[in-house]
Amino acid sequence: MALIGVFDSGVGGLSILDEALRQLPQHHYIYLADSANAPYGEKTSEWIADRSLNLCRYLASKGCDAIVIACNTATAEAIKQIREAIAIPIIGVEPGIKPAAMQSQNNIVGVLATEATLKSDKFIALLNTLPNDCQFIKQAGAGLVQLIESGQADSVDTLELLAKHLEPIQDAGADTLVLGCTHYPFLRKSIRKLLGESITLIDTSDAVVRQLKRQIDLLKTESGNKEFGSVLFLSSKNEASLLSMAQDLMSADLTSHAVEARILGEVR
């Protein structure tokens, strides 16, 4: 069985871990939430790159066979340096603008992501690979990560802020919306309330986990006989609240796994 590190600025990467536990339940996981420093999306590129590299080095030092950077912002700012520095498979996540452009009927696509992701060279380069017959309405979701981190994914405050952020996307008539931050799949209910059932929501967790599976298969780690592996939740802020948010936000039944939660000490 492989040991897989999953890292995010906070609880957003739980949307990826959830999918990983669905597709690859037999493996062992360390989920690292840097909630003491969330949101990353409003920090400088240098800070994000440095911190992300240090946390991935930490996960590698704990014996991870592969790491999923379950954060669009950290992927955009740091995946190149991380891949250069750490010799294990590193899987990143980026806004699904390609599948969105393919699925949109009217070629108007909203992209909700963090400011850092939208401003990053990596995202701009990705946009430039697409034919320009599709119009992308890009919107930074300032403040949303903080609300989700504080357990308010379904609150009235979140709905109000989301309504403001989604207005330009709605006004432009987008029929497809890219959830370009791993925290945002937890806003699905609120987004549906505001935009209705007909808009197509794109999140890339399924594709990310399929990519993880391909990489793990190549590693040929020993196959065990257990159906479910372990999950260690590490938080730089509060391990008990990370565990209870994981139980609330994820659809995976964590009772099937050997689960532990710990505080993350200082990492340099």
137-156 positions binding ligand DGL, by CB under 6 A: 145
CB of 83 to ligand DGL, least distance (A): 18
Residues 6+ apart with CB under 8 A from 48: 40, 73, 74, 77, 78, 116
# residues near ligand DGL by CB under 6 A: 17
Asked if 92 is part of the footprint of ligand DGL (rule: CB under 6 A), the reply reads: no
Asked if 183 is part of the footprint of ligand DGL (rule: CB under 6 A), the reply reads: yes
Asked if 182 is part of the footprint of ligand DGL (rule: CB under 6 A), the reply reads: yes
Out of 4, 5, 8, 68, the residue judged to bind ligand DGL by CB under 6 A: 8
Asked if 117 is part of the footprint of ligand DGL (rule: CB under 6 A), the reply reads: yes
Whether 93 and 69 have beta carbons less than 8 Å apart is answered as yes
Asked if 72 is part of the footprint of ligand DGL (rule: CB under 6 A), the reply reads: yes
Asked if 185 is part of the footprint of ligand DGL (rule: CB under 6 A), the reply reads: no
Binding mask 18-57 for ligand DGL (x = CB under 6 A): --------------------xxxx----------------
Residue 43: φ, ψ to 5°: -105, 170
223-262 positions binding ligand DGL, by CB under 6 A: none
CB of 52 to ligand DGL, least distance (A): 10
Considering the complex, state which of residue 16 and residue 229 has its C-beta at the smaller distance from ligand DGL: 16
State the DSSP code for 18. H
Q: Annotated catalytic sites, by residue?
A: 71, 181
CB of 130 to ligand DGL, least distance (A): 20
Asked if 181 is part of the footprint of ligand DGL (rule: CB under 6 A), the reply reads: yes
Whether 88 and 105 have beta carbons less than 8 Å apart is answered as no
Asked if 120 is part of the footprint of ligand DGL (rule: CB under 6 A), the reply reads: no
| Burial category of 268 from C-beta neighbours within 10 Å (exposed 0-12, middle 13-18, buried 19 and up) | exposed
- HSE, CB side, 13 Å, CA atoms: give it for residue 166: 27
Pairing of strands 66-69, 90-91: parallel
Q: Is the Cα dihedral 101, 104, 107, 110 positive or negative? A: negative
Asked if 178 is part of the footprint of ligand DGL (rule: CB under 6 A), the reply reads: no
CA 113 centroid distance within chain: 11
Asked if 158 is part of the footprint of ligand DGL (rule: CB under 6 A), the reply reads: no
Give CA–CA dist 74/177, Å, rounded.
Answer: 21
Asked if 15 is part of the footprint of ligand DGL (rule: CB under 6 A), the reply reads: no
CB of 79 to ligand DGL, least distance (A): 12
> Residue 155 to residues 45, 124, 151, 251: CA-CA distances in angstroms?
30, 32, 9, 19
- Interface residue list for ligand DGL (CB under 6 A): 8-10, 12, 38-41, 71-73, 114, 117, 145, 181-183
